[in-house]
Chain A
Amino acid sequence: MTEPLIQVKNLVKYFPIYGGILLKEIGRVHAVDGVSFEINKQTTLGLVGESGCGKTTVGRCTIRLIDPTSGEVYYNGENVLKFRGKQLNQFRCNAQIVFQNPHASLNPRMKIKDILSEPIRIHKLLPKNEIEKRVLQLINEVALEPSHLLRYPHEFSGGQKQRIVIARALALNPEFIVLDEPTSALDVSVQAQILNLLMDLQRKFKLTYLFITHNLNICRHISDEIAVMYVGKMVERASADELFDEPLHPYTQALLSANPVPDPEAKRSKIILKGEVPSPINPPSGCRFHPRCPKRMDICDKSEPPYIQIKPGHHVACYLYSKNES
């Protein structure tokens, strides 16, 4: 049970910025700057952080939608970045992604039937006469009706579209699904339906999820482990309960205290951070959080704190917790 399905080691992704008359490279967006984590089989890792912190880039790198600048991604112990040809095709079947905006993820000119059967046809998973049966099965899995198969995407609401996107991701019997903010475009009542569906599917098909979100409440609900990112770095990773009960990194603490709780009588001391999220084009020196950190020390702007394990399963990158402050 506890063997990792996905292992990411020191993942780095820079996006070049071109400018000037000759369109030379004039800078780099440090989208992801040295991120390591692993996801165990049949568990969910929640990835939280503010916009621009690199969560989506991490998600896309792990299933190789984009190639990282450096670093390694292992799937079942094999290096994904070395996959070629057939092996890569097989990996594409095993790893799927669900995007944030369901309206933009479906081709408006295709019927739902065609949308769901397309991946099966491309990967030649089933003979032609069995595809229809599989499509019917898929539409049942996501609690839609067979009559919906002949419709076009614009005839559906946002929640139904997201169900179709999930059904399409399931079409190839994947083991690993990256969920990139699957509910942020949806209303609260529909969001609960989708979250329940995702949890049911995980149990039924033994799926492993990487759940990317900026909503901490949702993240705690669905995740086994939570990783917090800040400007391209992972600052803390722990089991969901531990992270909420005992956040160590000052950024995690601030993020948790900023999380609005639907209870008017909850008395909480809020940590209000000063300033803005820095730009990943020119990130601060040392610890990237130091300009906003309420517990800043002298060393923080000089060198980067190491990402270390404090307790079993609890990693943090902060000088408050590293023993040798050299």
Chain B
Amino acid sequence: MTVNVLLSIRNLKTHFFTEEGVVQALDGVDLEVYEKEIIGLVGETGSGKSVTALSVMRLIPQPGFIVDGEIFFKGKPLHLLSEEQMLRIRGKEITMIFQDPMNALNPVFTVGNQIAETILLHNDVTYKEAFNQSIELLRKLNIPKPERIVNSYPHELSGGMRQRIQIAIGLACQPALLIADEPTTALDATIEVQVLELIKKLRDEFNTSIMLITHDLGVIAEMCDRVVVMYAGNIVEKTDVKTIFKQPLHPYTQALLEAIPYAEKKKKSRLTTIPGTVPNLINPPSGCRFHPRCKHAMKVCKTLKPMLLEEQPGHFVSCFLYSKNKEAAESKGGVFEPLPDRIIY
């Protein structure tokens, strides 16, 4: 099986120029999405998962700008396209579904109308054909009574159903890439499974690559082929899903995995915690952004910024604990001693 790169992001930097200062939301993100894969972006609030997705869609809200970096989609440089050219890609080649389905749908139009709108915009069809296509689409997504659903308004539908409508809108033009930004966070457990199963099925039926953004490692384990772990605007680790759970290398990934209460773990035992909180990105820590909370922090972590290097085949990590980064840092004169007197609260 040959793997083709669908989307590649190189050294992406997105900053927000606010009154309080420049928020460095993304600080050099390198990422590629292959065809027909589900890639998971995982991280805490403010780690830059959503900003990465919005940068790809070129939908960054004011006052944010892509200040550096390249985004290539099927060889096209998305970061250089005009707004008009971008309009032809959004909704047709790359689509996005959002966390809150109520705010993503227009309350004054029927859902059939909203699905047909997308089809009409990108294809040479009449409204009637587009509307019929939307019924077909809902049928493909196993939505019961599609003829009735298309004529209902968003407020008449439940949360899970609205999320499925959003997915239908996203798939209306059979895009090559679907970005799902926390698609199930607003849903209940039993509905969440339904929606996740649906997304999984899509990859097989529509041959769509899916970028799944979530903070739930359980969802990652069940859905994804590859995982990207983000922390404070950086990618700290990137590898396939089995390795990330079996052999996490970066201290942040390790700590994150230990911090989740597992149903199988012995109850009432103490959870391992990560001290401190996610840093403020207006004034991020120097060097490795995780070093103030890291239990392995060394002097070099404060002075130099680790790079995302391939430590093992297919396993990228940005940490000075591992050979590739160590060599690079030694040549620059990094000091590998534990950091003295750190205050963690």
Interface residues of A (CB under 8 A from B): 50-51, 143-145, 157, 159-160, 187-193, 195-196, 199, 214, 216-218, 220-223, 240-241, 244, 254-266, 270, 272-273, 276-277
Contacts and interface: CB of A to CB of B under 8 A. Distances in A.
Contact of A272 (B194, B217, B221, B265): B194
Contacts of B263: 216-217, 220, 244, 256, 259, 261
Contacts of A263: 221, 245
Given A192-B261, A220-B261, A265-B242, 15 more contacts: A50-B190, A188-B256, A189-B259, A195-B261, A195-B271, A216-B189, A217-B218, A220-B267, A255-B190, A256-B263, A260-B219, A261-B263, A262-B218, A262-B221, A262-B245
B44 A261 contact: no
B267 A192 contact: no
Interface in B257-281: 257, 259-265, 267-268, 270-275, 277-278
B191 interface: yes
B230 to A, nearest CB: 12
A221 B266 CA distance: 7
Contacts, number: 131
Contacts of B256: 188-189
A278 to B, nearest CB: 10
B128 to A, nearest CB: 30
Contacts of B272: 192
Interface of B: 44-45, 158, 160-161, 188-194, 197, 215-222, 241-242, 245, 255-257, 259-265, 267-268, 270-275, 277-278, 345
A194 to B, nearest CB: 9
A221 B271 contact: yes
A262 B245 CA distance: 8
Contacts of A190: 277
Contacts of B268: 199, 221-222
A270 B271 contact: no
22 contacts: A143-B345, A187-B45, A187-B278, A188-B44, A188-B217, A188-B259, A189-B256, A192-B274, A193-B273, A196-B273, A199-B268, A221-B268, A259-B189, A260-B219, A260-B222, A261-B218, A262-B260, A264-B221, A264-B245, A272-B194, A276-B160, A276-B191
Contacts of A217: 218, 260-263
B218 A259 contact: yes
Nearest to B47: A187
- Ranked nearest first, the 4 interchain pairs of A and B with the lowest CB-CB distance are A260-B218, A221-B261, A50-B188, A189-B274
